[in-house]
Amino acid sequence: MTMGAAARFRATVRSRTLGSRSVRVRATAGAVLVVGIALLAVSVGLVSFLDWTLTGNVRSAAVVRADEVAAVLESSGDPGSLAVADVEEQLIQVVDRNGAVVASSSNVAGRAPVAALQPGQSVEVDDLLENASFLAVAAAAQTNSGNYTVVVARSLSDSTEAVRAVGGLLGLGVPLLLLVVGATTWKVVGRALRPVEGIRSEVEQISDTQLHRRVPQPDGRDEIADLARTMNGMLARLDDAAARQRRFVSDASHELRSPVASIRQHSEVALSHPQRTTVSELARTVLAEDLRVQRLIESLLLLARSDEGGLPANSVPVDLDDLVFKHARRVRVSGPRVDTSGVSAGRVLGVRGQLDQVLGNLLDNAARHARAVITLGLGPEAGDGGVVLRVDDDGSGIPLAERQRVFERFVRLDEARARDHGGSGLGLAIVAEVVRSHGGTITVGDAPGGGARFEIRLPAAH
């Protein structure tokens, strides 16, 4: 299972990092597209605003000139000299109510009205004075001899050239700017993705036998550095899980080899020297070793289900005090004295068979280490509604540095003890797994009598 996770991890990282070049292309194209749309909108808006502003300036100047001519005409009845500063940039016409030109500037003398306008109107006129575009405006003049319309037209060539010049500059500058944006984005994204290639190449070389290797971790706190740290953390967990799996298999094989070798030895002796044993003695030996193998296999299966998240199942209210008294009676038969005066009612929600195994393993462990007495305590936890179980022995206790290691699998603190008396080293590991799966905690401390105290806290059943 662990090796499969490692293979899936390598495949995922390889598929993602091999696309780093396409990521670079997509990032560059996206940046260029977004900036290009923004620049295009700004350019169109700028050119339109410039055209509107310059055209407005021309219209304002023409309106001012038309009002001046109308004022002179109204005051004197004669428009006077309709002189223009630049014959190519401006023209003036005075039109009567019949549409006839009664006076005009010299550059349009003798020409029909350039535009049919009512006072206050304006219009663009093409093909005037060397095919140039003009903006014509009209103003009213009321005299004793009648009403007149003053038409003033000013050239739009300057504003048109200015708009074209700005448009040309933008047409040249926007592509150059987009080129700079694309090149900069390409370089920046490439530099940012450069550590990913190192991570990819390292992960690709990691196999199930090389989980000790780690990916290069860049400096900083950016997303890629966080990715590298996350990968290294996962590789460390996979390495630890693989090491524990190998150690577990090795220890389990060693534990199973011992009873198998004992059965084989006694069977060979019985076959070679039948007079040295009887069938009943051989059967008792084989049965004892077979029970030992059965207990070990059941323990291994329970731990395997726990590793897969299969605990607990079919939880029901369980009276822990019943289980405590049951195992206390069992231990008293051939073990030390068991003090149950501190046991009161305690009901939890869990799997009865698993909790029964927890009590059995704890009392068996205490019986192996106690000198004379085992003290049991059970009762409600003050304040949080939990249940507390305490198992004390008066043995030599557990050193502070070993109080976490005792819950690891196949751990025996007294290596000199014979294996058939010291257990398989799985009892406390099973206790810890079952308690954890039931939402509880287990700790090891010093008992008042000088030995070890195992204290379990479980949520109470309501």
User: How do the domains of the chain map onto residue ranges?
Assistant: 2-51+162-205, 75-157, 223-307, 316-459
What pLDDT was estimated at residue 424? 62
pLDDT in tens, 329-361: 999 888 889 999 999 988 998 888 888 888 988
Q: Does domain 75-157 have CATH number 3.30.450.20?
A: yes
Q: How many angstroms separate the first and last alpha carbons of the chain?
A: 38
Tell me the torsion sign for CA atoms 102, 103, 109, 114: negative
Kindly give, in sequence order, each residue whose CB lies less than 8 Å from that of residue 364, ignoring residues fewer than 6 positions away: 331, 423, 427
Is the pLDDT confidence value at 15 over 90?
A: no
Nearest to 82 by CA among 109, 64, 56, 55: 109
Residue labelled with tokens 């193998």: 293
| pLDDT: which is higher, 110 or 54 | 54
What pLDDT was estimated at residue 415? 43
> Which amino acid, 348?
V
What pLDDT was estimated at residue 421? 47
What pLDDT was estimated at residue 326? 92
Rounded Cα–Cα distance for residues 351 and 334 (Å): 28
Nearest to 339 by CA among 217, 447, 456: 447
- Mean pLDDT over 183-192 rounds to 90
C-alpha pair distances (Å), 151 with each of 76, 112, 141, 186, 213: 18, 12, 11, 59, 89
| pLDDT: which is higher, 86 or 63 | 63
Rounded Cα–Cα distance for residues 159 and 153 (Å): 14
Burial class (CB in 10 A: 0-12, 13-18, 19+), 346: buried
Is the pLDDT confidence value at 272 over 70?
A: yes
Is it true that 75-157 and 223-307 share their CATH fold?
no
Average pLDDT over all residues of the chain: 82
Of the ranges 138-152, 174-188, 372-386, 413-427, the best mean pLDDT one:
174-188
What pLDDT was estimated at residue 259? 78
Residue 261: what are its φ and ψ, rounded to 5°?
A: -65, -35
Is the pLDDT confidence value at 158 over 60?
A: yes
Is the pLDDT confidence value at 20 over 60?
A: no
Rounded Cα–Cα distance for residues 132 and 126 (Å): 6
User: Which DSSP string do the residues of 258-319 spell out, in sequence order?
Assistant: HHHHHHHHHHHHHHH-GGG--HHHHHHHHHHHHHHHHHHHHHHHHHHHHHTT----S-EEEE
Q: 316-459 has which CATH code?
A: 3.30.565.10
Is the pLDDT confidence value at 85 over 80?
A: no
Is the pLDDT confidence value at 19 over 50?
A: no
What pLDDT was estimated at residue 311? 54
| pLDDT: which is higher, 167 or 21 | 167
Residue labelled with tokens 């905690």: 441
C-alpha pair distances (Å), 228 with each of 60, 70, 190: 67, 82, 17
What pLDDT was estimated at residue 420? 44
With contact defined as beta carbons under 8 Å apart, do 346 and 311 qualify?
no
With contact defined as beta carbons under 8 Å apart, do 409 and 427 qualify?
no
| pLDDT: which is higher, 185 or 266 | 185
Question: Which helix (DSSP H) or strand (DSSP E) does residue 86 occupy?
Answer: none
Give the max Cα distance, the chain.
Answer: 160
Residue labelled with tokens 């060539």: 157
User: In percent, how much of the chain has pLDDT > 90?
Assistant: 24
Tell me the torsion sign for CA atoms 22, 25, 31, 36: negative
User: In percent, how much of the chain has pLDDT > 70?
Assistant: 87
Length of the chain: 462
pLDDT in tens, 233-259: 888 888 887 877 777 777 677 667 777
What pLDDT was estimated at residue 306? 66
Q: 223-307 has which CATH code?
A: 1.10.287.130
Cβ density class 283-309: b for 16+ within 10 Å, e for less: eebbeebeebbeebeebbebbebbeee
Distance of CA 163 to the CA centre of its chain: 50
